[in-house]
Structure 1
Amino acid sequence: MSLAELEVLCTHLYVGTDLTERIEAEKALLELIDSPECLSKCQLLLEQGTTSYAQLLAATCLSKLVTRINPLPIEQRIDIRNYILNYVASQPKLAPFVIQALIQVIAKLTKLGWFEVQKDEFVFREIIADVKKFLQGTVEHCIIGVIILCELTQEMNLVDYSRPSAKHRKIATSFRDTSLKDILVLACSLLKQVLAKPLNLQDQDQQSLV
């Protein structure tokens, strides 16, 4: 599919009113996810798409791709996570629903890879350190950091009935024991910083952060 064809697909999926076109678009979406070109097409949509719906389609494809029963290689999943983190960091003014959809992909990757080890490290648990970098940036970056913490916490407690419940409990318990306290400390620290500064109530970003 060309970029133009992908953007037509976005229109039919997200804003179209024709039921037949929507069904065909959903079929094309499934075909795209199963295609070897899926990742390159997602990158094309994120980097060259002309609408927020193009970016949302990329996030939707990535979400479905990383949650398949047969997982992608760990190196590829790490690359996807790092790409999304860099993408939202470099474009903090993306539509809020796009940022949230992309961060949900990061949360899913983190949960599913929670016990995976590379070079003797739990590589997907580095997300807390990544969030700290966002919280040291602009108000927009702080908002992204907060969204990551919220989505991650929600995802860890979300039961996926297509996977073994014992594994979910093991991940959720480990997350609680190893990371939840760090998240609480980060949140409290950020709140203190926000309250210590005079608020500009005309600033939508500052209102969103509070």
Structure 2
Amino acid sequence: MNALKTCSLVAALLAAPALSQAQNYEWKLVNNAYPYQIGLNLPAACDQKVLSGFAHWNGASRFSTTQSGRFFSGFLNPASTDIQIQMEPASRMVSGAINLAEAPPGTFIRWITVDGASVRELRSAHVRVNADYWASGEFHCGPNPVPFNTFDFAYVVAHEVGHVLGVGHGTPTLPQSCVMGIPLARSVPLPARCALESTRARNLYGTP
């Protein structure tokens, strides 16, 4: 199992009118502020790491998130106006069962232009976490340091929230020292937000 394929491939399912440009950003959410809900099937022991993963992006741009409680776990609702994060069996991972997590897009609204690129504007995007990695003990939800051969769950969440925002991996790909760099490293705590990904967030949502 290749555990380092961590990014969502869902964005590739919707073709862009100007592909060479639209690869720069995955999408843009229609609003700048979203509450997020945690699925009941996500262990409460991981709540602090989830909070850290979302908070990683607050202040990078005008986009911000706030926790709004928990919701009954079921297949994520693509039309929701909240961001939802929950665990899913590997068989329900749209981007492939080997991925740590994914950020599937919600309801498409229209095409817009961002930084000279054609970008889809969406009502929402969500996070699915692969339950197999939790079952195998590969997600670390405790305090740092991060044990050998495990993934800091805050790092995983922050990376997927970057997809939720539409920041993506960049073209060319952001360096691995950035949260949105790939592949995600094992045994490494959530890194600081790098200047390149902050710039990309600001291009999408404006300067805070």
Task: From the two aligned structures, give the one with the greater helix fraction.
Answer: 1
**Structure showing greater Rg:** 1
TM-score of the aligned structures, taking structure 1 as reference length: 0.26
Task: From the two aligned structures, give the one with the greater strand fraction.
Answer: 2
Q: Which has the higher contact order (CA 8 A, sep 6+)?
A: 2
